[in-house]
Structure 1
Amino acid sequence: MSPRRQRSARGSGTELRAEILAATRELLARTGNADSVSIREVGRLVGVTAPSIYRHFADKDDLIDAAVAEVFSELDAAIAAATDPADSPIARMREQGLAYVRFALRHPGQYLVATGGVGSGPTTVDQVLGSGAFQRFSQTVRDAMDTGLITPGDPMPVVLELWSTVHGVVSLMIAKPYLPWGDPEQIADRVMAAACLGRAVLDVIGGDTPDPDEGARWVARIREQR
């Protein structure tokens, strides 16, 4: 049993809130499941009673939302640190995609909860689309459109396509770690390169969903010219 936390000094409520969030994230990291986190267990780790937690968070969902917000904030910081603003948009896509993969593999439990969401309502959607990481990658896609790498238009479909690519790879790596992945970063790099360059090539071929055989003929012509 955890020792009861000493009464906080006046003005230290922020410190207690941070401890509660840290304990919540520890539980999320262990389980990768928001349903497995309870107010009672969080209180036990911190050494406080449930009423002390409810002074800072309306309910468990509010607590999980706050913990997920911290995860997204740290993901954004990791992506920002890996991004060189002087690089081309295609290079930044690669940098940001690899930073995303590294972060997810280092924090698999928290990542699964953050991207899995605890609901399907506006709060969950807004939290994802409004996150710094999502906005940062969206800007990179806009820059790619501005330079002509990707056909100009609404960036949202492209952002979601590329995000689903990197999310799919890293989620499968987390779920099936026993598969012969080799170097996770190398695999993620190749998949991201295929997705980013493939999107640009599809724009050149023309059409939202080009005929696969036409695409194969286009690639064959390129190979002949090499």
Structure 2
Amino acid sequence: MIPQDPAKLQAPSASSRRRKRGTGHELRGVVIRVATDLLARSGDVDALTMRDVAAAAGVTPPSIYRHFPDKQALVRAVIGERFRDFTVALNQAAEGHENPLARLEAMSHAYVHAGLRQPGHYRVMFSAVNAGPDGLGLAKGTEHPGAASFRALVDAVTGCLAERGTSTQAMPLATGLWASLHGIVDLRITKPEMGWPNTDLLIDNALAAIRSAAT
């Protein structure tokens, strides 16, 4: 057997590496992760381009279009996946708690901890500009990807109030709790230099109105 000339044993070219990566089943996940990072940095859906996503993913733009027909489809996938993960975290935290207040407390802590653990993901979900129904290209009447996480919070608050027969308070109380939890996460992300009080204490205070209505 004649040995090959080492000079001919060249590393794959950048274009061949791109082609190989672009045909893999894992590309969709890579593109979503990259687009999440880019959107977290810019904070604006309009600033995101398919060309930038392709460059960051190390593939050609046509490779992305095989998985996502346009930018709206990609952004829908990004927002949808981030909210699915977030909702799963809330629901998993509630599991195993029979007491309604204990479930809500666990979900509230999970909300804040998830946001602080992955601030880029949180920013994409709640702070990205032009990520509403129009920006995502949602058909009229289609539920926004974030609706499930808020519904989980409303349902948990409703469960706390069931015995008192005050379920009509659930929506305003849940909205108030959401605003408080969001404020805890968002302010810590955007103002890390502040001397913030203990996170668990802030969450406990955020739950005070619901505890009062439920007992």
Q: Please give the range of the TM-score, normalised by the shorter of the 2 chains.
A: 0.7 to 0.9
- What is the distance in 2 between the residues matched to 1:126 and 1:66? 14
Decide whether the 8 Å contact of 1:98 with 1:188 is kept in 2: no
**Partners of 1:120 and 1:6 in 2: how far apart?**
34
Of 144, 152, 155, which residue of structure 2 is paired with 1:127? Answer: 144
In the TM superposition, residue 59 of structure 1 has moved relative to its aligned partner by 2.3
Kept in 1, the 8 Å contact 2:82–2:125? The answer is: yes
* Deviations 1:172-223 (CA, angstroms, capped at 9, x unpaired): 111111110143x22432332324235x17xx8xxxxxxxxxxxxxxxxxxx
Please give the per-residue CA displacement for 1:13-47, whole angstroms capped at 9, x wherever unaligned.
x4221111121123234444444432122111222
Structure 2 unaligned residues grouped into runs of 5+: 1-12
CA RMSD of aligned residues (A): 2.9
Q: 2:160 aligns with which of 144, 153, 176?
A: 144
| Residues 30-109 of structure 1: pairs in structure 2 closer than 5 A | 30-109=41-120
Q: For each residue in 1:47-93, what CA deviation from the matched residue of structure 2 results, as whole angstroms up to 9, or x when unmatched?
A: 22222212222322321221111111111122223223433211211
Who is 2:203 aligned against?
Answer: 189
Query: How many positions carry a matched residue from both structures?
Result: 195
User: Is the 8 Å Cα contact of residues 177 and 207 (structure 2) preserved in structure 1?
Assistant: no
**Letter of the structure 1 residue corresponding to residue 160 of structure 2:** A
Residues 1:106 and 1:86: Cα distance change in structure 2 (over 3 Å): closer
Aligned counterpart, 1:166: 181
In structure 1, stretches of 5+ residues that fail to align are 205-226
Q: Percent identity?
A: 31
